[in-house]
Amino acid sequence: MEKIKEWITKVKKGDHNAANQLVSFYYKDLYAYIYRQTLNKDLAMDLTQEAFISMLRSIHSYDERKASFRTWLYRIATYQTIDYYRSKYYKQQPIVTEIDHELGQEEDFTLKLEYKEEVERILAVLNTFEASAQQIFRLKLFGEYTFAEIASATGLTESTVKTKFYSTVRKIGSNIAIVDWKQDFLSIC
């Protein structure tokens, strides 16, 4: 933690080396967080890069008394992802599924494709919700935050976060027909 605070202080003073260290430290986790929401390597790399650019541009406004740096960074990434899904580009983009599998792995490929299709249907419904509901859902599912961490990050009470999360889960479940989706989903939460 002290090393991160030191990097942040140096980045605020314009130290490019510290900026590189800070980005390198968080890159893999932030990329994974965004990838789980997009299931597209190139898009996840682009959104991750945009999140870090946004972070570097606004690091002067970061206040450690309000949230941890990780929480602040994930909030930026969440809004980058939400903004992408609300953009004209996303709405006009044809849906193309990458097919990258080796012969002999048909079952794994089929499961992977089914999972991707389910996540895309869930995200299509989620993208119609208000930003705060999306943020809570994304941090819980894709960021693997606890309800307490989400409450701290959003400034809401833990009970409000739980209520919004489970309300979002019910709304998603009522809008899509995925067999046993809620049971499977809630078992991983």
Pick from 79, 87, 85, 69: nearest CA to 18: 69
Looking at this protein, which amino acid is placed at residue 91?
K
CATH code, domain with 152: 1.10.10.10
Domain boundary among 73, 96, 119: 96
The model scores a pTM over 0.75? no
Q: For residues 117 and 62, state if they share a domain.
A: no
171 in a structural domain: yes
pLDDT reported for residue 103 = 43
Q: Report angle CA 24, 30, 35 to the nearest 5 degrees.
A: 130
Q: For residues 82 and 113, state if they share a domain.
A: no
pLDDT reported for residue 4 = 92
CATH code, domain with 67: 1.10.1740.10
Model pLDDT for residues 117-143, shown as the tens digit of each residue? 777 778 888 888 888 888 899 888 888
148 in a structural domain: yes
The low-confidence residues of the chain, meaning pLDDT below 70, are: 88-115, 177-189
Tell me which residue range forms the domain holding 54. 1-96
pLDDT reported for residue 173 = 80
Q: For residues 126 and 166, state if they share a domain.
A: yes
pLDDT reported for residue 143 = 85
Q: For residues 23 and 69, state if they share a domain.
A: yes
Cα separation of 47 and 131, whole Å?
A: 17
CB count in 10 Å sphere of residue 73: 23
- DSSP, collapsed to helix, strand or coil, labels residue 129 as coil
